[in-house]
């Protein structure tokens, strides 16, 4: 059980490590890039199989605003990576849990002691 909790904690930490607005802005990106990044990240997560996310793309802005477009492409890539990491982690948690295969009779266990 402790192993499961530790793995769950790791999943929460690792999947929450997306790029923040402040990191993007500190890197010199403008708000059009940041908005495109957010839209692309949601889209990438959805494209990678998370049906709780929504595909978001302002097509007119994507075609006319290079900053939005570059942010969207970068965000889509990050979203796919985050979803793939979450899926891999979920699979590893599921395969690490091994329920007991034998049924224990409490009366028999009591007789042993």
pLDDT digits (tens, 9 = 90+) for 14-42: 445 578 889 999 999 999 999 999 999 99
- pLDDT of 95 strictly over 70: no
Q: Could you tell me the maximum CA-CA distance found in the chain, to the nearest angstrom?
A: 79
pTM of the model: 0.66
Q: Output the six-digit token pair for 104.
A: 């224990």
């Amino acid at each position: 059980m402790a192993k499961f909790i530790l793995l769950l904690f790791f999943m929460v930490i690792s999947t929450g490590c997306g790029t923040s607005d402040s990191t993007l802005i500190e890197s010199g990106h403008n708000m059009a890039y940041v908005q495109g990044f957010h839209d692309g990240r949601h889209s990438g997560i959805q494209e990678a199989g998370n049906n709780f996310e929504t595909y978001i793309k302002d097509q007119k802005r994507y075609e006319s605003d290079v900053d939005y477009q570059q942010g969207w492409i970068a965000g889509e890539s990050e979203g796919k990576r985050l979803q793939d990491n979450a899926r891999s982690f979920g699979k590893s948690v599921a395969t690490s849990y091994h329920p007991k295969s034998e049924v224990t009779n409490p009366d028999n266990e009591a007789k042993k002691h």
